[in-house]
């Protein structure tokens, strides 16, 4: 569905990224890459720097050293709107929708770079992914339930058919059924269509099941990385992340 229309993907490369909010850097020397067609996940404890890293990639947090390259273009220290125009879609963890606007207006806002006649068809395609949204197009986003709000945030970013996708805990407020559908079908199919996908998740087992590679962050640095199979072979990783606590 949405995947079919994503024509091209671009690799996303962060090399030696150090960034923070002014004081000591929150993340140090992080090197991560995601190639077209890949789902790459970031896991780690609360406060380990996962969200900060995503923010540094899209220009919300200033990168002090290191480079961010999207496709062939150096995006280091570019403004967020330039990163978005380069085809990077970002779904933040909080403050993810325009609360006073309706669902339809939110989606239109997400597609404002599209030619206006495409916007309507694109909204139909996105609401086919999230049928719940289709039923409430004229409701104010601020009145949605927590999970519906998350779907809208995803849907808004989907409007542009980004070629690289950054998702910060997309399933945090979602019911298990839709969380699984979101990860297994939508996120996976985004990659299947050629986009490069970088996803931060606490539901480690669920996200490992759809990841090609996974990075483990701790204290603002990459501590481990590998394929899900390699990580599953590490006792320390299993103890911390897969101790029987993830969904089902």
Partner 1 sequence: MNSYYLINLLIYAAVDAMACLGLSQQFGVAGVTNFGFIIFQAAGGYTAAILALPSDSANGGFQSYIGGWDLPFPIPWIGAAVVGGLIALPFTFLVGRRLRGDFAAVGLLVTAVLLNLLVTNYRPVLNGDAGLSLIPQPLLREGSRQSAGYEWLFTVGALVVCAAVYLFVRRITESPYGRSLRAMRDNDIVADSLGKNLLSLRTAMLVTGGAIAGLSGGILVSYITTWSPAAWGYAETVVLFAAVIIGGAGNHRGAILGAILVPVGFEEITRYIPTSNNLPPNLIPSLQWVAIGLLIVVFLWFRPQGVLPERKRVIRASLLGPPASLAPAAPGGTDPASPAAAGTAVAGAAPLAPVPAASAVPRPAAPRPAETAPRGGEVVLQAADVVREFGGLRAVAGVSLSVRRGTLTGLIGPNGAGKSTLLAMLAGTLPVSSGRISYQGQDVTSLPAYRRARLGLIRTFQLASEFKKLTVMENLLSSVPGNRGDSLRGAAAGPRYWRGDENAAIVGATALLERFGLEAHANSYAGDLSGGQRRMVEIMRALMAKPRVLLLDEPMAGVHPSLARKIGGELVALAAGGLTVLMVEHELAIMDEFCDPVVAMAEGAVLAQGTMAELRRRSDVVEAYLVG
Task: Name the site residues for partner 1 (rule: CB under 8 A).
Answer: 21, 43-52, 93-94, 132, 139, 143-148, 150-151, 169, 172-181, 202-204, 216-219, 223-224, 236-237, 239-241, 243-248
Q: Which of 140, 26, 8, 161 is nearest to 84 (CA)?
A: 161
**How crowded is the C-beta side of 14, counted as CA atoms within 13 Å?**
27
Task: Give whichever of 114 and 246 is closer to partner 1, judged by the CB atom.
Answer: 246
* Closer by beta carbon to partner 1, 67 or else 240: 240
Work out how close the CB of 47 gets to partner 1 at its nearest, in angstroms, rounded to a whole number. 4
Nearer residue to partner 1 within complex by CB, 64 or 181: 181
State in angstroms the smallest separation of the CB of 73 from partner 1.
Answer: 29
Q: C-beta of 168: minimal distance to partner 1 in Å?
A: 8
Report, in Å, the least distance between residue 178 CB and partner 1.
5
* Cα–Cα distance measured from residue 42 to residue 55, given in angstroms and rounded to the nearest whole number: 13
Cβ-based nearer residue to partner 1, 44 or 110: 44
Contact status, residue 179 vs residue 153, Cβ threshold 8 Å: no
Nearby residues of 191 by Cβ (< 8 Å), 6 or more positions away: 37, 38, 39, 197, 212
- Greatest CA separation found in the chain? 54
In the DSSP assignment, the letter for residue 23 is S
């Amino acid at each position: 569905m949405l995947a079919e229309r994503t024509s091209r993907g671009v690799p996303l490369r962060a090399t030696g990224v150090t960034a923070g909010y002014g004081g000591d850097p929150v993340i140090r020397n992080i090197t991560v890459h995601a190639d077209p067609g890949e789902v790459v996940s970031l896991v780690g404890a609360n406060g380990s720097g996962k969200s900060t890293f995503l923010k540094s990639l899209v220009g919300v947090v200033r990168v002090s050293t290191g480079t961010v390259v999207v496709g062939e273009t150096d995006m280091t220290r570019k403004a967020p709107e330039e990163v978005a125009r380069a085809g990077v879609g970002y779904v933040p963890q909080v403050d993810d929708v325009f609360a006073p606007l309706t669902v339809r207006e939110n989606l239109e806002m997400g597609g404002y770079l599209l030619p206006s006649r495409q916007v309507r068809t694109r909204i139909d395609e996105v609401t086919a992914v999230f049928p719940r949204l289709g039923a409430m197009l004229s409701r104010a986003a601020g009145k949605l339930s927590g999970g519906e709000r998350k779907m809208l945030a995803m849907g808004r970013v989907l409007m542009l058919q980004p070629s690289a996708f950054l998702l910060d805990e997309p399933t945090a407020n979602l019911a298990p059924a839709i969380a699984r559908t979101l990860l297994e079908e939508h996120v996976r199919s985004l990659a299947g269509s050629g986009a490069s996908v970088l996803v931060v998740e606490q539901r480690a087992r669920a996200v490992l099941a759809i990841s090609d590679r996974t990075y483990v962050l701790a204290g603002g640095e990459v501590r481990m990385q590998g394929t899900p199979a390699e990580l599953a072979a590490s006792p320390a990783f299993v103890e911390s992340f897969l101790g029987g606590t993830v969904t089902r």
